[in-house]
């Protein structure tokens, strides 16, 4: 279905409509079930069939992406009911669109032949995306059904790991030679039934498939048909390599406003192209993953997944946090004597730890962001540390001062106020330093600085905050 | 500069090169400064001038987006030096590309006439983006220099608030009539010097500017030139309204893989278009804002901003957190008697609060995500709550049990272990319920459920955790 056949309706409205049909449906079903009156069977069967037909008709009208959306928003039983009603020849496209978790739930219910039929509708690059979720036996059968060129494309597409340009690329390029006139190209194009989606340019290659340039459709339309391709093509286009990082390609698309770009091998032969549609999907997925990883969710959850699947998805992060919380607890344990003598310490210590954690998370988020876009070099490190320490010092004196006054007023103990101010300031300084040092160190070690940044900084400011506050109190108050 | 004139070089390499030139530059400057030997002036002046020329030449070669990137990555003094070297006629494009914070720092240094000249190079939609950062006097002058159509476009572009389709749209549409043959359209297009960027389709309008359909370039190229536009156009394209949410437009582009889409008024007249380039920028900015807002940063910081600017950017969140931490502290204060009697409580209570906070943040992140894509309706709320409570119960029994055993072992107190397990489980249940209830309530109140979600859930699980644990301990242990 072409993008443009979509009416301006909202997918929310589609969802609502499907839900209404499902509800009427289940109403009938439960009626039949409750009454169990055989002589009503015929009438109810008719009503039932009418509703199913209506729903199935509704689904036929929808774009695969919209059906995917609806499947994700429905609880498992309703989801599978709807999935059964979808025409088999659309299964492949829809499986591509749904989230990983929901895809699994759908594939589980499909027979070998259904899966094979669905997979065979797809292009090689799409098949490669779906492959990890398909049973091996299905993939083998599908592979055998491909022709030589498609097999080569599938192998190529599957050989690049996720996060590379190779994993984003497709093979829908239209190529022309450079020594022909535009008029010939225009005649050649008229033999196509339609051009591949996102064809904003033709790729000009020589007989060895080496890219000589690109020719944009826009340029073709404004130039004299007598012109030679070589005269009007752009002979120095941006080209991607299949092992480039997907993120770098996304940045290039964003920076230079591209619609498609050629992917070439190390000897400059054209092997595929990346379209802005693949880039947009990549950007969305990445930003989603970033948000989820921040709270230790391994992947997007099917919100209607069984409880145990969800437990598994959230397990690792809770375990890590338990360990860091346990360490912080042992730090407090060391100072139990001090707390026994001055119980106010117990009430005040979480404030010191908390404000350090918040401030540290601000610093580390900002620095990880700047690193992600490559704006922090070796020299800027020191400068940044100095700046963050400055910010921490001001915040420490202001907020710490305020907290000190509050502690003084609450417990009528001026020294306690001074210790509070001092501890808050020191913990903010610790937070600022670790907020710069942790991601910088991770980057030098070749690790992703975003990974676990929030856990690490909070571990530092919790244990550190308790240690600083209770330590200072032991020194000066007892 | 066209997107395709970009060579396959990495922007990082450009940055490095500029930094090297700057360093050589400052070396010379400091030499001159240190020696202060007048007779060397001539030679050093030559070297200096050569370096500046080299740098300026390098900058001329770069895409505006790359220069913007370099400006953002340089400390303020070097940034302004480079900015002065950029050709004045490129100022406008570069100001559009840099981040808000850096844009401010650049505009501050520019004179009225420079700003006016820079602004006058821009299209109406670009000018509207820049307008909030320009001094009023400059905008007035620029407005007066526009022709009637441009003024109308500028007013239109500025009348839509950020976050709407109107704020994303531009006015670079090519329109044709439906009753002409393709051949005529092709001849018409050849009179253009070039088509606007991202022209993947022409807009078919009638004499009242009402949209009759769209005609994709790809379709034009494969169809018979004798065909009528009305026969081959798509007469039911996706159309946007200027007051649609930008986020909805982004979802439509992503879902239906669009390159451009028409924006129409309530009476279906064509007023602009949205391109995928604007959508990609929007998606990036949104996901960035989401990450920054999570830790209470109001906006992306210029990493080399003065300390006080940074303090201001982070102020509000720290204040809010201080209040919630203070409340939690007062909850502990209520139980000071209990802590005095059993000091182990002080060491264990942050664990109960901490694991609740982590688990609650996982729940709320997942639910806010699902809400953002509209997958949570009124009915799913109850179902989700049930599921999250189930997850919390399992986690509570497993992790809480483990913590209970540890508490028992550490303090040789079995009852303390039981209280620990019970408190952990209850706080996880609280976290799960609030993780569902807070965003649901926010949504029903018409608020953005993401805003402050993390602060609120942490406030609940901190104060709640302390209260549950210390309360149970007071009841059963003392």
Task: Express each pLDDT in A239-258 by its tens digit.
Answer: 999 999 998 899 899 988 99
Output the average pLDDT for chain A.
87
Burial class (CB in 10 A: 0-12, 13-18, 19+), B287: middle
pLDDT on residue A45: 72
Q: Any idea what the CATH number is for the domain that residue A401 is in?
A: 1.10.357.20
pLDDT on residue B306: 82
Please give the residue of chain B at the shortest CA–CA distance from A323.
B351
SS (H, E, C) A235-275: CCCCCECCCCEHHHHHHHHHHHCCCEEEEECCCCEEEEEEE
Please tell me whether residues B332 and B452 are part of one structural domain: yes
- Measured from the Cβ of residue B270, the count of other Cβ atoms closer than 10 Å reads 22
User: B170 has which bridge partners?
Assistant: B273
pLDDT above 80 (res A375): no
Asked whether the beta carbons of residue B365 and residue A259 sit closer than 8 angstroms, the reply is no
Asked whether the beta carbons of residue B300 and residue A369 sit closer than 8 angstroms, the reply is yes
User: A228 has which bridge partners?
Assistant: A181
The residue-averaged pLDDT of A284-309 equals: 79
The alpha carbon of residue B128 is apart from the nearest alpha carbon of chain A, in Å, by: 19
Q: Any idea what the CATH number is for the domain that residue B254 is in?
A: 3.10.580.10
pLDDT on residue B95: 93
Asked whether the beta carbons of residue B254 and residue A281 sit closer than 8 angstroms, the reply is yes
User: A245 has which bridge partners?
Assistant: A164
Residue with tokens 């610093």: A363
Q: In which domain, by residue range, is B211 found?
A: 175-294
Rounded CA gap, B431 and B425, in Å?
10
pLDDT on residue B6: 39
pLDDT on residue A384: 85
Is the residue at B57 inside a domain? yes
Please give the residue of chain A at the shortest CA–CA distance from B356.
A318
Q: Residue B245 phi/psi, 5° resolution?
A: -70, 135
Contacts of B17 in chain A (CB under 8 A): none
Is the residue at B129 inside a domain? yes
Is the residue at A299 inside a domain? no
The residue-averaged pLDDT of A456-466 equals: 94
Question: Which range, of A169-183, A357-371, B364-378, averages the lowest pLDDT?
Answer: B364-378
pLDDT above 50 (res B5): no
pLDDT on residue B7: 38
Please tell me whether residues A247 and A333 are part of one structural domain: no
Contacts of B373 in chain A (CB under 8 A): 69
pLDDT on residue B428: 96
Asked whether the beta carbons of residue B362 and residue A253 sit closer than 8 angstroms, the reply is no
Considering only CA atoms, which of A414, A411, A376, A418 is closest in space to residue A397?
A418
Contacts of B248 in chain A (CB under 8 A): 10
Rounded CA gap, B71 and B105, in Å?
10
pLDDT above 60 (res A120): yes
Contacts of A6 in chain B (CB under 8 A): 236-238, 252, 256
The residue-averaged pLDDT of A427-446 equals: 92
First to last CA, chain A: 77
The residue-averaged pLDDT of A281-294 equals: 84
The alpha carbon of residue A217 is apart from the nearest alpha carbon of chain B, in Å, by: 7
Rounded CA gap, B385 and B451, in Å?
20
Burial class (CB in 10 A: 0-12, 13-18, 19+), A58: middle
Rounded CA gap, A59 and A384, in Å?
55
Rounded CA gap, A146 and A68, in Å?
26
Please tell me whether residues B282 and B241 are part of one structural domain: yes
Which of B294, B326, B358 lies at the terminal end of a domain, its last residue? Answer: B294
Asked whether the beta carbons of residue B375 and residue A218 sit closer than 8 angstroms, the reply is no
pLDDT on residue B43: 66
What percent helix, strand, coil does chain B show, rounded to 5? 70, 5, 25
pLDDT digits (tens, 9 = 90+) for A150-170: 898 898 888 898 889 999 999
pLDDT above 60 (res A236): yes
Please give the residue of chain B at the shortest CA–CA distance from A250.
B280
pLDDT digits (tens, 9 = 90+) for B117-130: 999 889 888 998 88
Considering only CA atoms, which of A374, A238, A239 is closest in space to residue B12?
A374
The alpha carbon of residue B340 is apart from the nearest alpha carbon of chain A, in Å, by: 6
Please give the residue of chain A at the shortest CA–CA distance from B96.
A255
Residue with tokens 């994993």: A167
Is the residue at B195 inside a domain? yes
Rounded CA gap, A380 and A382, in Å?
6
| Number of compact structural domains in chain A | 3
Please report, for residues A335, A474, A478, the alpha-carbon distance to residue A341 in angstroms, rounded to integers and kept in the order given: 10, 10, 8
Please tell me whether residues A11 and A116 are part of one structural domain: yes
Residue to substitute from A4, A20, A183, A302, interface B, most B β-carbons within 10 A: A4
pLDDT category at A271 given cuts 50, 70, 90 is: very high
Is the residue at B168 inside a domain? no
- Measured from the Cβ of residue B17, the count of other Cβ atoms closer than 10 Å reads 16
Is the residue at B275 inside a domain? yes
Q: Residue B66 phi/psi, 5° resolution?
A: -70, -40
pLDDT on residue B40: 56
Among A189, A237, A370, the residue with its CB nearest the CB of B4 is A237
Q: Any idea what the CATH number is for the domain that residue B95 is in?
A: 1.25.60.10
Asked whether the beta carbons of residue A258 and residue B3 sit closer than 8 angstroms, the reply is yes
pLDDT above 50 (res B180): yes
Most distant CA pair in chain B: distance in Å? 95
User: B365 has which bridge partners?
Assistant: none
Please state the separation of Cα A35 from the chain's center in Å.
Answer: 48
Asked whether the beta carbons of residue A283 and residue B280 sit closer than 8 angstroms, the reply is yes
Asked whether the beta carbons of residue A326 and residue B256 sit closer than 8 angstroms, the reply is no
Asked whether the beta carbons of residue A328 and residue B354 sit closer than 8 angstroms, the reply is yes
Rounded CA gap, B410 and B412, in Å?
6
Is the residue at B374 inside a domain? yes
- Measured from the Cβ of residue B77, the count of other Cβ atoms closer than 10 Å reads 11
Output the average pLDDT for chain B.
87
Asked whether the beta carbons of residue B300 and residue A236 sit closer than 8 angstroms, the reply is no
pLDDT digits (tens, 9 = 90+) for B225-281: 999 999 999 998 999 999 999 988 998 999 889 999 999 998 889 999 999 999 999
Please give the residue of chain A at the shortest CA–CA distance from B322.
A355
Among A281, A287, A294, the residue with its CB nearest the CB of B287 is A287
Asked whether the beta carbons of residue A339 and residue B346 sit closer than 8 angstroms, the reply is yes
- Measured from the Cβ of residue B146, the count of other Cβ atoms closer than 10 Å reads 16
pLDDT on residue B44: 66
Rounded CA gap, B413 and B411, in Å?
5
Residue to substitute from B338, B354, B372, interface A, most A β-carbons within 10 A: B354
Please tell me whether residues B244 and B391 are part of one structural domain: no
Q: Residue B261 phi/psi, 5° resolution?
A: -145, 145
CB contact set of B162 (below 8 Å; sequence gap of 6+): B246
Asked whether the beta carbons of residue B5 and residue A395 sit closer than 8 angstroms, the reply is no
The structure tokens listed for A377 are: 């070099």
- Torsional sign, CA A57, A63, A68, A73: negative
Rounded CA gap, B130 and B125, in Å?
9
pLDDT digits (tens, 9 = 90+) for A37-75: 555 566 667 777 888 888 888 888 888 988 998 898 888
pLDDT above 60 (res A99): yes
The structure tokens listed for B9 are: 């070089």
Rounded CA gap, B203 and B175, in Å?
5
Please tell me whether residues A197 and A260 are part of one structural domain: yes
- Three-state SS for A214? strand
Please tell me whether residues A275 and A313 are part of one structural domain: no
Question: Which range, of A102-111, A284-293, A415-424, averages the lowest pLDDT?
Answer: A284-293
Question: Which range, of A165-169, A339-343, B25-29, B246-250, averages the lowest pLDDT?
Answer: B25-29
- Torsional sign, CA B103, B106, B111, B116: negative
- Tell me how many degrees the CA angle A240-A242-A245 measures, rounded to the nearest 5: 80
The length of chain A in residues reads 478
Please tell me whether residues B184 and B154 are part of one structural domain: no
Please tell me whether residues A411 and A433 are part of one structural domain: yes
Task: For A122-151, give one letter per residue: b (16+ CB within 10 A) or e.
Answer: bbbbbbbbbbebbeeebbebbeeeeeeebe
- Three-state SS for A204? strand
pLDDT on residue B261: 95
Rounded CA gap, A272 and B181, in Å?
35
The residue-averaged pLDDT of B133-144 equals: 90
Question: Which range, of A57-66, A205-214, B394-403, averages the lowest pLDDT?
Answer: A57-66
Among B255, B279, B339, the residue with its CB nearest the CB of A65 is B255
Please state the separation of Cα B170 from the chain's center in Å.
Answer: 20
Please tell me whether residues A322 and A471 are part of one structural domain: yes
Contacts of A353 in chain B (CB under 8 A): 350
Higher per-residue pLDDT: A414 or B10:
A414
Is the residue at A169 inside a domain? no
Question: Which range, of B332-341, B352-361, B442-451, averages the lowest pLDDT?
Answer: B442-451
Please tell me whether residues A16 and A131 are part of one structural domain: yes
Asked whether the beta carbons of residue B256 and residue A6 sit closer than 8 angstroms, the reply is yes
Among B295, B317, B394, the residue with its CB nearest the CB of A307 is B394
The residue-averaged pLDDT of A291-317 equals: 79
pLDDT category at B31 given cuts 50, 70, 90 is: low
Q: Identify whether the C-beta of residue B210 lies closer than 8 Å to the C-beta of residue B237.
A: no
Contacts of A367 in chain B (CB under 8 A): 303
The length of chain B in residues reads 478
Which of B163, B188, B212 lies at the terminal end of a domain, its last residue? Answer: B163
- Tell me how many degrees the CA angle B26-B29-B30 measures, rounded to the nearest 5: 85
The residue-averaged pLDDT of B66-91 equals: 88
Helix (H) or strand (E) holding A274: strand A270-275
Please tell me whether residues A354 and A319 are part of one structural domain: yes
The structure tokens listed for B392 are: 């919390």
Which of B163, B194, B227 lies at the terminal end of a domain, its last residue? Answer: B163
Rounded CA gap, A96 and A282, in Å?
14
- Measured from the Cβ of residue B409, the count of other Cβ atoms closer than 10 Å reads 10
Please give the residue of chain A at the shortest CA–CA distance from B277.
A257
Burial class (CB in 10 A: 0-12, 13-18, 19+), A265: middle
Most distant CA pair in chain A: distance in Å? 95
Q: Identify whether the C-beta of residue A179 lies closer than 8 Å to the C-beta of residue A230.
A: yes
Helix (H) or strand (E) holding A205: strand A201-205
pLDDT on residue A77: 84
């Amino acid at each position: 279905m072409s993008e443009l056949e979509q009416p301006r309706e909202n997918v929310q409205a589609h969802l609502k409509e499907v839900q209404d049909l499902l509800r009427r449906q289940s109403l009938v079903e439960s009626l039949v079930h409750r009454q169990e009156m055989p002589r009503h069977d015929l009438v109810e069967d008719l009503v039932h069939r009418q509703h199913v037909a209506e729903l199935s008709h509704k689904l036929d009208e929808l774009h695969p992406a919209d059906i995917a959306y609806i499947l994700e928003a429905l609880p498992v039983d309703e989801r599978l009911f709807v999935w059964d009603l979808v025409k088999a020849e659309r299964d492949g496209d829809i499986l591509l669109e749904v989230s990983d978790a929901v895809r699994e739930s759908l594939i589980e219910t499909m027979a070998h032949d259904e899966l094979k039929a669905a997979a065979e509708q797809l292009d090689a690059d799409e098949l490669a995306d779906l492959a990890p979720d398909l049973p091996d036996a299905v993939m083998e059968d599908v592979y055998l059904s491909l022709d030589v060129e498609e097999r080569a494309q599938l192998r190529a597409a599957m050989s690049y790991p996720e996060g590379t340009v190779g994993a984003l690329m497709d093979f829908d390029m239209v190529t022309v030679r450079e020594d022909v006139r535009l008029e010939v190209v225009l005649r050649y194009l008229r033999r196509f039934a339609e051009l591949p989606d996102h064809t904003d340019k033709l790729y000009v290659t020589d007989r060895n498939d080496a890219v000589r340039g690109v020719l944009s459709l826009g340029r073709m339309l404004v130039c004299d048909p007598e012109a030679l391709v070589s005269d009007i093509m752009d002979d120095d286009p941006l080209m991607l390599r299949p092992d480039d990082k997907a993120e770098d390609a996304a940045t290039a698309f964003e920076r230079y406003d591209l619609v498609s770009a050629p992917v070439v091998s190390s000897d400059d032969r054209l092997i595929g192209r990346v379209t802005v549609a693949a880039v947009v999907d990549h950007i969305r997925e990445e930003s989603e993953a970033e948000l989820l990883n921040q709270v230790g969710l391994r992947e997007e959850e099917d919100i209607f997944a069984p409880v145990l699947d969800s437990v598994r998805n959230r397990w690792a992060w809770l375990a890590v946090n338990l360990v860091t919380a346990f360490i912080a607890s042992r730090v407090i344990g060391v100072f139990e004597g001090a707390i026994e003598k001055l119980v106010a310490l117990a009430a005040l210590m979480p404030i010191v730890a908390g404000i350090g954690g918040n401030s540290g998370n601000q610093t580390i988020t900002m620095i990880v962001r700047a690193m992600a876009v490559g704006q922090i070099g070796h020299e800027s490190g020191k400068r940044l540390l100095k700046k963050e320490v400055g910010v921490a010092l001001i915040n420490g004196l202001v907020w710490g001062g305020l907290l000190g006054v509050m502690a003084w007023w609450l417990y009528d103990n001026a020294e306690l106020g001074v210790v509070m101010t001092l501890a808050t300031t020191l913990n903010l300084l610790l937070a600022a330093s670790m907020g710069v040092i942790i991601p910088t160190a991770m980057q030098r070690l070749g690790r992703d600085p975003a990974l676990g940044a929030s856990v690490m900084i909070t571990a530092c400011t919790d244990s550190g905050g308790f240690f600083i506050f209770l330590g200072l109190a032991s020194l000066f108050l007892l």
